[in-house]
Structure 1
Amino acid sequence: MRLDKLLGNLKYGSRSDIKDAVKDGRVTVDGIVISDPGLDVNPETSMIAFDGEPVFYRKWVYLMMNKPKGVVSANEDSIHPTAVGLLQHPYDRFDVSICGRLDLDTEGLLVLTNDGDVLHRIISPKAEVFKTYEVELKSPLHDYSQLETGVRIKDGKEQYYITLPAQVEPTGERTCRIRISEGKFHQVKRMIEAIGNEVVGLRRTAIGGLTLDPTLAPGAYREMDYEEVLRAIG
């Protein structure tokens, strides 16, 4: 890979910025000051530094985040803080996407990656990856059989449809665990509304077999290896 392309992909500046930095002797490869921005480098085997700081490189990066309430599942937003905006160095240099968004007031597991294949395999309806939610209800949950057969709700385009059967496990008088393989707009909330109740707290705890790390505080994240990601995509 060309050195200037590598540094550009990692947001060290524009191509001209990087060319100037190389010209000024600010970039080294294996301890040697480089003068050619087009030098072919292998970032997986060479030690590259910019202004004396090692360049952190991953072809694919996989992050698990515990999204807090009040944070938007987005890369940019003009009003609210974003999940991607919570990332700090070195992960803020990667162009990651969110694998299955959560509502502003919903907390819990997010997976962020720059691996388009993993993104598709998690969010594609055809993949039928189940997501698990811990739900707090306004009123006691007496009859949830409709959720297990499918209820009529509106999607993000305000069109009615019948949900696929959900797996429901009561965990208390006003709490339950719901597993669904779809990801429609406000789906869990609208499903609960369809049976005459209301969600007052919602937290995603798992995507497929990938469970939220209990040591992650709200807003915290950590890197995962591909083997761990496989738990989500099967």
Structure 2
Amino acid sequence: MKLVKLIANLGYGSRKQVALMFREGRITDAAGEVLYADDAVPHDAVRVDGEPLDPPQGLLILLHKPVGYTCSTKDPGRVVYDLLPPRYRLRDPVLSTVGRLDRDTSGLLLMTDDGALLHRITSPRAQLPKVYEATLADDLRGDEADVFGSGTLMLESEKTPLAPAGLEVLGARRARITLVEGRYHQIRRMFAAVGNHVQTLERLSLGGLDLGGLEAGRWRPLDEADRARIFGAAAG
């Protein structure tokens, strides 16, 4: 791929804007030598304004999503892309969220521009466990683990029962829930079905990957070992 197209696809600007960056000498190699648009150099040797080029297509990142952000590019309020370098929302292929966390849910969120990987993670066949921690408006009544684990719980407006889900009691109004599916507002609707209300909700892990101490609002790219951990905890 031509350097102009490569750099433009990473969101640094249009092809015309990137061509101008070459003419201005802003694109160099690791030694600081100016590059030209038709040069053939490895991706990791390219520098833009002295900084390494962003990761190539196939990027996968882990974001600790704070409350108040939506997984959207069109929402007029705060969106998760605001937490990333501005050019990341301009990448081609697009950088998409792997599933969604609603505005009032925090925690682990994956983002990728690899469509095949996104499908592999979100496919129902993957049976990847997702672990959440919830605080509730009212005390647990005691039978929630049996109800959630029964495989017969029906949510309002749904036509099929939920797959069995795990519930661990952490306190009178705190619980850890493990799902292997991801229906719309599922945990909030599950507790509503048993007469309770979720006040706070955080996703702690997906598959075998957790936040690893990452602070809210921060993100990091994932390497091959991280990717393997995602699929290392499939239910079964």
For Structure 1 versus Structure 2, the TM-score category normalised by the shorter chain is 0.7 to 0.9
| C-alpha RMSD of matched pairs (Å) | 2.2
Q: 1:191 corresponds to which residue?
A: 190
Contact 1:139–1:198 (Cα < 8 Å) also in 2: yes
Q: Distance in 1 between matches of 2:50 and 2:209?
A: 37
Q: Which runs of 4+ in 1 moved over 4 A?
A: 89-94
Q: Distance in 2 between matches of 1:82 and 1:18?
A: 27
With over 3 angstroms needed to count, the CA separation of the structure-2 counterparts of 1:54 and 1:203, relative to structure 1, is closer
Q: 1:82 corresponds to which residue?
A: 79
The worse-fitting range, judged by mean Cα deviation, of 109-118 and 50-59 is: 50-59
Q: Distance in 2 between matches of 1:161 and 1:191?
A: 14
Q: Distance in 1 between matches of 2:22 and 2:96?
A: 30
Percent identity among equivalent residues?
36
The worse-fitting range, judged by mean Cα deviation, of 202-211 and 107-116 is: 107-116
Cα deviation for residue 233 of structure 1 reads 2.2
1:54-73 alignment, distance < 5 Å: 54-73=52-71
Q: Distance in 1 between matches of 2:83 and 2:220?
A: 12
Matched letter for residue 16 of structure 1:
K
Cα deviation for residue 104 of structure 1 reads 0.7
**1:232 correspondence with 2:230:** yes
Contact 2:10–2:87 (Cα < 8 Å) also in 1: no
Q: Distance in 1 between matches of 2:201 and 2:22?
A: 50
With over 3 angstroms needed to count, the CA separation of the structure-2 counterparts of 1:231 and 1:32, relative to structure 1, is same
Three-state SS of the structure 2 residue aligned to 1:32 is coil
**1:148 correspondence with 2:169:** no
Unaligned runs of 5+ in 2: none
Q: Taking structure 2 as the reference length, what is the TM-score of the superposition? A: 0.86
Q: 1:22 corresponds to which residue?
A: 22
Matched letter for residue 78 of structure 2:
P
1:24-173 alignment, distance < 5 Å: 24-29=24-29, 31-35=32-36, 37-44=37-44, 47-74=45-72, 76-88=73-85, 94=91, 95-141=94-140, 142-144=142-144, 145-150=146-151, 151-154=153-156, 158-173=157-172
Three-state SS of the structure 1 residue aligned to 2:43 is coil
Unaligned runs of 5+ in 1: none
Q: Distance in 2 between matches of 1:174 and 1:88?
A: 38
Cα deviation for residue 73 of structure 1 reads 1.7
Q: Distance in 2 between matches of 1:198 and 1:24?
A: 58
Q: Taking structure 1 as the reference length, what is the TM-score of the superposition? A: 0.86
Matched letter for residue 134 of structure 1:
E
Q: 1:2 corresponds to which residue?
A: 2
Q: Distance in 1 between matches of 2:230 and 2:120?
A: 9
Q: 1:222 corresponds to which residue?
A: 220
Cα deviation for residue 90 of structure 1 reads 7.8
With over 3 angstroms needed to count, the CA separation of the structure-2 counterparts of 1:50 and 1:218, relative to structure 1, is closer
